[in-house]
Structure 1
């Protein structure tokens, strides 16, 4: 072998060795959880002097939204059909949060599927605070059982629980639609009627779900009714834009709320009995839940932050938006 060839081979071997060494010493980038919003975070004075009506505010996302809104200076009307819990929440808010933001919370018992209750919610806001600036239409159900009833896997509840279309009962379908579709329509109509009378514009956030953006196994009424919520939102955004009223929706994946917890109990009970929805196991986590070290879904206060952003002037360029606050669920 000639000297030149030997030199070339030597250089090639050195380069190969260096590449191998570099690959051996290269470290995998460190993985970490995303920085989660603190439950105590709020923006002082953002809603000073504003009035917000919140349906389904006795617990979960609605409760977190009411807490933060009052901390940020808002006066809040909370309507829910969970009477005792709703009173406890507003009392707690007034004792703790009112001193921070000088806002006030008032609870009224009501069912959004009754038009008269929705009108009364708006009337209460006007009588106490003179106006309605914003609305968070959060009340909704995942099944046909009254949400204040403890979960029981018995015959009476099972007929009102989610099921494939061929197994679903009329009562399950009608109860879910009565709240999610009809009730959201009634509460939106009452809100918009008042906003038009005031003539000052406003903003509404309707709480949808990933079920309003895609399909979910074994719960046809929830999926169809949440699609109805997003369809209603888009229609309203078109009709009321000329009046300075912005209307958007938030659509979350699994969030740590009592409603989701009960859905988990139901699925677990069905699996135990050898039933369950096989197709539902294809996809069970959002991107952020899967990559979280503890596989946690979103927290209610994270969703409250998204909601309050959308009704605030910071989102003045947004209307008719189906916002996926789902941790990346619908991204893949």
Structure 2
């Protein structure tokens, strides 16, 4: 494996217009040391394949699966196909700011021991405008460590922080390929698989480098898959199950503070409580009951 370039994978299933914007953002990187692979999960639209071919860039590979396998399988495909020492699995509607590749490669050169790199993130809406949602304000202003220079985190303190509230942005992360291949995605936790995988990496002794300065734009949709799952309460049922598992994993490592954080699941519970007005408005008693139970920790 070479460490002179970044492998960027885009698992694709979604709006072709957003997808073209994502690919365009890769093409406009200030640092040309990247390779892009689009893994099309059998999306029923031929325009993306035609668009990729029309670019004629040898750094770009397009793969179309014969049948839809789902996002977790597409993540696995991406990690398996990586050829370089660093890999990023980007959302098919997100935007890499022009300095993204440069930021990741410089961070790796300065901190070669870091297994995961979290760059600074800007949040945008459906129209590409910068927004400040309640969720992202909490992630960036309350939960995320405040820093003016890169900071390397690991061990129980990192696990405890993320279990109190996940302040990472999965699509923006870059990984050492060998490190992410040492774990697997948990099929039983599709909606929270990003935190589950990163926690498994931390439990293996892996480290996370947090880099200041924005280099990635994360698109927060009004009607995302996660928001729809929130509305019917299923997301919180999945989160509760995962935090129970995480508490057991932390206990097995004798990480008492991390175990307590997983059992408290504070921000997850507060999130459920903050959505109670919407549940009341929807008049869905089942969802309302799920939100209340999760929020109260029962």
Give the TM-score normalised by the residue count of structure 1. 0.29
Say which structure, 1 or 2, has more relative contact order (CA 8 Å, 6+ apart).
Answer: 2
Give the TM-score normalised by the residue count of structure 2. 0.31
